[in-house]
Structure 1
Amino acid sequence: MSLLIFSCNNSNKKESTAPLKQPVQNGTVLDQNVHKLKKTLSTLKSYDSFPRHIYKDKTNWEFVKVRDWCSGFWPGTLWYAYEASKDETILKGAKQFTESLKQIAYTEARNHDIGFQIFCSYGNGYRLTGNESYKQVILDAADTLATLYNPIVGSIHSWPTRTQYPHNTIIDNMMNLELLFWAAKNGGSKSLYDIAENHAEVTMKYLVRPDSSSYHLGSFNDKTGAFVKGYTHQGYADESMWERGQAWGIYGFAFSYRETGRKDFLDTAIKLSDKFLQRLPEDGIPYWDFDDPKIPNAPKDASAAAIAACGFLELSTLVDNPQLQDTYFKAGKTLIEILSTDAYLSQSENQALLLHSTGNHPKGLEVDEPIIYADYYFMEGLMRLKTLQKS
């Protein structure tokens, strides 16, 4: 396995770690993951509580309720497991956990995370079953998310409860645009497409820095639309490069180009990708923030690697240049392969699929722990890789 296919200008080369073992084969990892997910599913009896993270000294998931931003990832992970296995027990579990989230589409929008909650669950469910009731929930959820749009700013208000920022937009929100794009193409209002496109444009203009790194949050004047300041709350510092935010941007701008055909969105996805790859350490998995001065004694983030892998695989299907297609395909494939080694696979250690993710380091939350969205994007990446390798 070649790890450093990405860039000869790797600024973190001195931060190398011991060589990784060869990855388990893709199909074998999928089979193992499916078996483990089915085993975990058999222990869960409450369908309105959702796995989120596992403490370092524990083996079982800690749970959150429906309104938590991570609630959609567990049913989404089950849908990928069903897609890989066609196991009816997993299908039943995916349906039960998905249907518990229906209320999100029909209650007041509290934040931008409706896309994560509904499109990961109902979206995958509809893709795999064609259940028309799922489609209606997705369309209604898109309308609910759209209520957070401020036409003066041109973006969705990500965190309405953060009153210190009259209007704020975070880089994570790029991922929720897929719900709006999909709804606009599948029976929803054309205005949903316009909202998503405008939001991506504002994010591109103000949250992507000139050096191709990204802010976590942009603060705006809600009355004039003027940009006030960029922040990076979950990174080391406002001007540092928080790697999960960079990964959200890569993936979000890639599919925004897919949906709109706007070359500036594609160029942004490429710039964010190249910056991410240039900053990777030699072992191939990002630290939680590329500018943490404690590197190499800083925690890794497997979730960012999994998200970025999905973004790279998506991007590889969108660029016309064969060399770039190869670069981004290999980048995504390599990240999935590294996550498929015993350095990151949880195996019998706990109920999760992956170890070593980092949630909110500045607040000391979910640091170097299994987190459910790492498992979700790992399963997505494995399935994407399987499909692309076939073609």
Structure 2
Amino acid sequence: MPRSPAALSAGATDHGLPDRYRTRPDVTRDDLERALADAIDRIDENLDEFYDRFPTASSDDLVYGATANMDGWTTSFWTGLCWLAHEVTGAERFRDAAETQLETFERRLDSGETATHDLGFLYTLSAVAGHRLTGNEQYRSLALTAADRLADRFWEAPGMIQAWGECDANTESWERGRAIVDTMMNLPLLFWASETTGDSRYASVAATHARTTAEHLVRADGSTCHTFEFDVETGAPVGEETAQGYADDSCWSRGQAWTVYGYAVAADYTGEAAYLDLAGTLANYYLQHVEADGVPRWDFDAPAEQSMRDSSAAAIAACGLDELARHLPTADERVAGYRNAALATLGSLADDYTVGDGSNGLLAEAAYHPTEGDYDECCIWGDYFYVEGLVRATEQWGRYW
């Protein structure tokens, strides 16, 4: 069985916040407001092409293609960008696009294409955000159906949500009984479902998965593995393995960023201080290993000849660091450090990683799957979290997650 919340961070060594983040970076509010305005202009330019379709997960020569397919895990990030643009500008054309896209998410549930933990990504940034912003009960119902499907992926014995594939006890495959760090950012759908319905079973599944992740996917040095396999019948741990990182025992930077943000959000929903402590340990490891400009290599342990950056990991981390700072006690000296790190990251992204003319994306040098040659491109989730980070830094914003 997974450990109690009080023991979550006991097994990980925290080496502290790096000194360079104790000083406020040379990034002004005006700088970030200009970056946000530029990003919204780009979203607006793309609205006709992606009104009822979606950008591909990653670009080709920094240009996204368009897809109307219901498969994949990334479509909601474009819808989330439309909701953010609507909130910032008040322009109805962004809301109209997001609501048009929601019809696709409804069809996806009807089609049964739901064999993934990414239901959290897909329906938080589409239906939950839509309900929060419009009060439309249809969107609430849609999100709750997705939460039911996500909760159905929970294996009781190991206490975890299976990431990929059908959850069929008779099916033997690499996917069966596999947990991944990304799921920490899919759990908010379940926490929200309990909050909106009063039914604690959703939050119970989410909290149990978070404890299991802390016990088996967080290492003693505060790093994380990408995936971990369990025997679903006995609950016995099998071992860690990577899918998108450099090696089974390496630390994939985007996965580390997911956990920083995920545990900070879990702390807010549950009130468990241990989740917050663990988010800090994970954040400190990230900040100790990130490059000087705040944008990490795609894997902290990759060799020099594979030192590609991942701007999408940096954007996620900026949001996670800001979220963590919001929930720590005001007197905690780490609050200023995490805010400084988030601002420095956003400033670096805005100055050195945004694309130029000829691209329909926002951030260059994102890495989807470097071992398969997909890097140095735009990735739609990186674009989303970049804009979310800018909104966090410049607006009074209510979290979708």
Is the TM value for this pair above 0.5?
A: yes
Structure 1 match to 2:8: none
Equivalent of 1:310 in 312, 319, 327: 319
**Aligned pair in 2 of structure 1 residues 165, 94: CA closer, same or farther (>3 Å)?**
closer
1:145 aligns with 2:112: no
The answer to whether the 8 A contact 2:54-2:78 is kept is: no
1:7 aligns with 2:18: yes
Local SS of the residue matching 2:228: strand
Structure 1 match to 2:116: 111
**Aligned pair in 2 of structure 1 residues 108, 368: CA closer, same or farther (>3 Å)?**
closer
How far the C-alpha of 1:223 sits from its partner, in A, is: 0.6
1:274 aligns with 2:280: no
The answer to whether the 8 A contact 2:71-2:113 is kept is: no
- For residues 37-77 of structure 1, the C-alpha deviation after alignment (integer angstroms, 9 at most, x for no partner) is 111112336x2444422112x53435362221111111111
Equivalent of 1:99 in 95, 98, 103: 103
Structure 1 match to 2:241: 231
The answer to whether the 8 A contact 1:160-1:167 is kept is: no
Structure 1 match to 2:49: 43
> Structure 1: which amino acid aligns with 2:132?
R
> Structure 1: which amino acid aligns with 2:315?
A
- For residues 81-128 of structure 1, the C-alpha deviation after alignment (integer angstroms, 9 at most, x for no partner) is 111111121221111112211133442631100011110111222222
1:351 aligns with 2:355: no
1:66 aligns with 2:70: yes
> Structure 2: which amino acid aligns with 1:345?
T
> Structure 2: which amino acid aligns with 1:317?
R
The answer to whether the 8 A contact 1:52-1:63 is kept is: no
Structure 2 match to 1:289: 299
- For residues 133-190 of structure 1, the C-alpha deviation after alignment (integer angstroms, 9 at most, x for no partner) is 1111111111111110111111111112681253010000011100000010101632
Structure 2 match to 1:380: 388
The answer to whether the 8 A contact 1:52-1:64 is kept is: no
Structure 1 match to 2:7: none
1:255 aligns with 2:261: no
Consecutive unaligned residues in structure 2, runs of 5 or more: 1-15, 167-171
- For residues 226-249 of structure 1, the C-alpha deviation after alignment (integer angstroms, 9 at most, x for no partner) is 111011221111111110000001
Structure 2 match to 1:371: 379
- The whole-number CA distance in structure 1 between the counterparts of 2:145 and 2:304 is 45
- The whole-number CA distance in structure 1 between the counterparts of 2:135 and 2:189 is 16
- The whole-number CA distance in structure 2 between the counterparts of 1:384 and 1:268 is 22
The answer to whether the 8 A contact 2:17-2:334 is kept is: no
Local SS of the residue matching 1:128: helix
Q: Which stretches of structure 1, 4 residues or longer, exceed 2 Å deviation after superposition?
A: 20-24, 48-52, 58-64, 103-109
Local SS of the residue matching 2:229: strand
Local SS of the residue matching 2:239: strand
Structure 1 match to 2:3: none
Query: What is the number of residues matched between the two proteins?
Result: 371
Structure 1 match to 2:307: 298
Consecutive unaligned residues in structure 1, runs of 5 or more: 11-19
> Structure 2: which amino acid aligns with 1:135?
R
1:362 aligns with 2:366: no
Spell out the pairing of 1:191-206 with structure 2 (5 A cutoff): 191-206=201-216
Structure 2 match to 1:212: 222
Spell out the pairing of 1:148-187 with structure 2 (5 A cutoff): 148-160=153-165, 163-187=173-197
> Structure 2: which amino acid aligns with 1:71?
T
- The whole-number CA distance in structure 2 between the counterparts of 1:137 and 1:50 is 22
**Aligned pair in 2 of structure 1 residues 134, 165: CA closer, same or farther (>3 Å)?**
closer
